[in-house]
């Protein structure tokens, strides 16, 4: 375990097993229809890479980058699109790939923005959902894990751009960050 962590919440094996299950569910739901996976950078990069390899339906990948945290550990609720999609999504089956659903403010903004582009369908797959943290209702068709309201890092999730490369997810020690 990394010395900056208090404890591990999800092991590498647990994550990989659940990502495989999510990939299987998506494959069953979409069959031979093409799916466009859109990752929200940077946190969802590891998740989308593993997930795409587990989906047997035809898959395309695109990326968006948004900012709502800055250097804070809590979302500001103000969302800026830093990088928009390269692909048009009108008439396509789109799955927004998110690392973590906490307040829901960023995701609500993104869903409204993407829905205005008229996809055939628009769903969300979130690796993590923070229990009791949502400030706006968001329906995720696919959720990997419910986690407690603690500051987690690893498997793409960061604090100040660090810890993304950890193959597991753990709780950052409180003395490492300041609220």
Residue 43 sits in a domain whose CATH number is 3.40.50.2020
Residue 171 lies in a domain: no
Out of 102, 149, 158, 175, the active site residue is 102
**CA nearest to 10, candidates 78, 125, 1:** 1
Average pLDDT over residues 141-148: 94
Contact 64, 94 (CB under 8 A): no
Tokens coding 15: 């994550």
pTM over 0.85: yes
Residue 167 lies in a domain: no
Residue 59 lies in a domain: yes
Domain that holds residue 33: 12-150
Q: What is the pLDDT of residues 7-33, one digit of tens each?
A: 999 999 999 999 999 999 999 999 999
Residue 51 lies in a domain: yes
Residue 175 lies in a domain: no
Query: Does 32 qualify as catalytic in the annotation?
Result: no
Residue 115 lies in a domain: yes
**In what order do the strands lie in the sheet containing 152-153?**
5-10, 169-172, 152-153
Q: What is the pLDDT of residues 77-128, one digit of tens each?
A: 578 899 999 989 999 999 999 999 988 888 999 999 999 999 999 999 999 9
For residues 18, 20, 25 and 30, what is the CA-based torsion angle, rounded to 10 degrees?
Answer: 140
Q: Which residues contact 119 (CB under 8 A, 6 or more apart)?
A: 36, 89, 90, 91, 92, 93, 94
Structurally, the chain folds into a number of domains equal to: 1
What percentage of the chain has pLDDT greater than the value 70?
93
Residue 110 lies in a domain: yes
Is it the case that residue 45 has pLDDT exceeding 60? Answer: yes
Residue 169 lies in a domain: no
Measured in degrees and rounded to the nearest 5, phi and psi for residue 178 equal: -125, 135
């Amino acid at each position: 375990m990394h010395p900056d962590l208090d404890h591990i919440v999800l092991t590498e094996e647990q994550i990989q097993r659940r990502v495989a299950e999510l990939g299987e569910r998506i494959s069953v739901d979409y069959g031979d229809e093409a799916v466009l996976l859109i990752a929200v950078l940077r946190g969802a990069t590891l998740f989308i890479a593993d997930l795409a390899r587990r989906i047997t339906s035809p898959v395309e990948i695109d990326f968006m980058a948004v900012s709502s945290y800055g250097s804070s550990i809590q979302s500001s609720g103000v969302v800026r699109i830093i990088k928009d999609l390269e692909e048009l999504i009108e008439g396509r089956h789109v799955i927004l790939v998110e690392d973590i659903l906490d307040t829901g403010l960023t995701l609500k903004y993104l869903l409204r923005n993407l829905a205005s582009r008229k996809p055939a369908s628009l769903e969300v797959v979130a690796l993590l959902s923070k229990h009791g943290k949502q400030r706006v209702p968001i329906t995720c068709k696919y959720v990997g894990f419910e986690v407690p309201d603690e500051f987690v890092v690893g498997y793409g999730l960061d604090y100040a751009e660090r810890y993304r490369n950890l193959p597991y997810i753990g709780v950052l020690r409180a003395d490492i960050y300041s609220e």
